[in-house]
Amino acid sequence: MTRQLLVSCAAAAMLAACGGGSQTPSAPILQNPSATGAAKRPMIPSAAVRNVAARPNHRKSWISPDAKLAPRLLFISDYGASDVDIFTLPNLVLKGQITGLSFPEGECSDSSGNIWIANTGALQILEYSRTGTLLKTLSDSYGYPASCAFDNHGNLAVANIENTTAGAGNIVVYANATGSGTVYTNSAFFEYFFVGYDPSGNLFFDGTNSSRTSSYLAELPAGSSNTVLLSLNGGTLSLAGFVQWYRAGNYLALGDQTCNANFSCVYWVTVNGSAATITGTTRLADFEDYEVCDLVQGVIAANGERYLAGMDYEANCGFTPTSTANRWPWDAGGVPTNYNNTASFVEPIGSAVSTK
């Protein structure tokens, strides 16, 4: 397959708005989901585009003793290997692996620098210290967790991609990251992918219909029990990716896994009421200056460091090396300032940064 150089992701479309609401928790029915949509699906649903078989990592977990000295660590979850790789930043040296997980997907970090991992196949959200110690297990009885995010008050939002009977997923908010949580839905969504809070406590989330032919962006306003589907102006969200508020730019960074055919980009989105407008686009290249094949979840670093960290899942396009961990300038994008093309990823999805 011929690799394509960076091109514009411009297009035009609009999504209609509608509402949702909270639900009373119900007892889970645990069974494997069936295939849904146009393509054959694996037994555990995923927010990523997939075309490789899972190869679980059966080695023991390990971490280098000097990892705790690193001011920033990048955690990358590998759905296909059922593990999480730990890299230093900015130089992206592999310093550890957490193994024995069950199809982990999205990640998020809390104010203490701990990393929370959506352990999708086990219906759990796991809290790990930055040195790889399991601190807490939060059971998710509402579905298969795909991602998570914290607000400024320590409340944890989780996107469940589907429920446990292959039905529509949901958003769950756990006050202080404990308890049974409150469930929210939006009638336009079937699969829920990623979540992100702004500084005011508004929760943004994205996802798709059951066939993944339409992607949506929605909001749960702070203090509300109803969700709002946002109309997206100035571009098309082809396949929902990560959602993160970029405080310095005062906009929502909205990832698109396939904004240009098979390649990924990140939109800059401003929100006014029920309208969301794409005001800019960051296009990402790999270390060879070709477009990034599939960035599922990236993380824009905090504390004034202007970079985007994440992985390029090259296997989706048939390229070699199959995947790379990258650190790109933000919001400029382009070629990464640092990369690791020797890590043995199977299908990397989630990213989070732990800061001391």
Indicate which CATH number applies to the domain containing 234. 2.120.10.30
What does the pLDDT read at residue 343? 87
Highest mean pLDDT among 18-27, 40-49, 262-271: 262-271
How would you classify the pairing of strands 231-233 and 275-283? parallel
**Structural domain total, the chain:** 1
| Residue 51 pLDDT grade (very low, low, confident, very high; cuts 50, 70, 90) | low
What does the pLDDT read at residue 26? 28
User: Is residue 343 one of the residues assigned to a domain?
Assistant: yes
Mean pLDDT, the chain, integer: 87
User: Is residue 167 one of the residues assigned to a domain?
Assistant: yes
| Residue 53 pLDDT grade (very low, low, confident, very high; cuts 50, 70, 90) | confident
* pLDDT-wise least confident of 45-49, 208-212, 241-245: 45-49
User: Is residue 40 one of the residues assigned to a domain?
Assistant: no
What does the pLDDT read at residue 262? 74
User: Is residue 12 one of the residues assigned to a domain?
Assistant: no
What does the pLDDT read at residue 30? 27
Question: What mean pLDDT is predicted for residues 260-283?
Answer: 93
Q: In whole angstroms, what is the distance from residue 292 CA to residue 316 CA?
A: 10
For 275, phi then psi, to 5°, come to: -110, 135
Q: In whole angstroms, what is the distance from residue 106 CA to residue 88 CA?
A: 19
Residue 293's contacts (CB-CB under 8 Å, 6 or more residues apart) are 262, 263, 264, 286, 312, 313, 314, 315, 316, 317, 319
What does the pLDDT read at residue 169? 98
Does residue 49 have a pLDDT over 70?
A: yes
Does residue 15 have a pLDDT over 50?
A: no
What does the pLDDT read at residue 36? 34
User: Is residue 36 one of the residues assigned to a domain?
Assistant: no
Single-letter amino acid, residue 300:
I
Single-letter amino acid, residue 156:
L
Does residue 39 have a pLDDT over 50?
A: no
Give the tens place of pLDDT for each residue, 86-126.
999 999 999 999 999 999 999 999 999 999 999 999 999 99
pTM of the model: 0.88
What does the pLDDT read at residue 273? 96
Q: Which comes out higher in pLDDT, residue 21 or 353?
A: 353
In eight-state DSSP terms, residue 8 is -
User: Is residue 13 one of the residues assigned to a domain?
Assistant: no
Range of 155's domain?
70-355
User: Is residue 58 one of the residues assigned to a domain?
Assistant: no
For residues 254 and 216, is the Cβ–Cβ distance under 8 A?
no
Does residue 236 have a pLDDT over 80?
A: yes
Question: What mean pLDDT is predicted for residues 163-183?
Answer: 96
| Residue 16 pLDDT grade (very low, low, confident, very high; cuts 50, 70, 90) | very low
User: Is residue 311 one of the residues assigned to a domain?
Assistant: yes
Question: What mean pLDDT is predicted for residues 30-45?
Answer: 45
The Cβ of residue 280 has, within 10 Å, a number of other Cβ atoms equal to 14
What tokens appear for 238 in the block? Answer: 């082809």
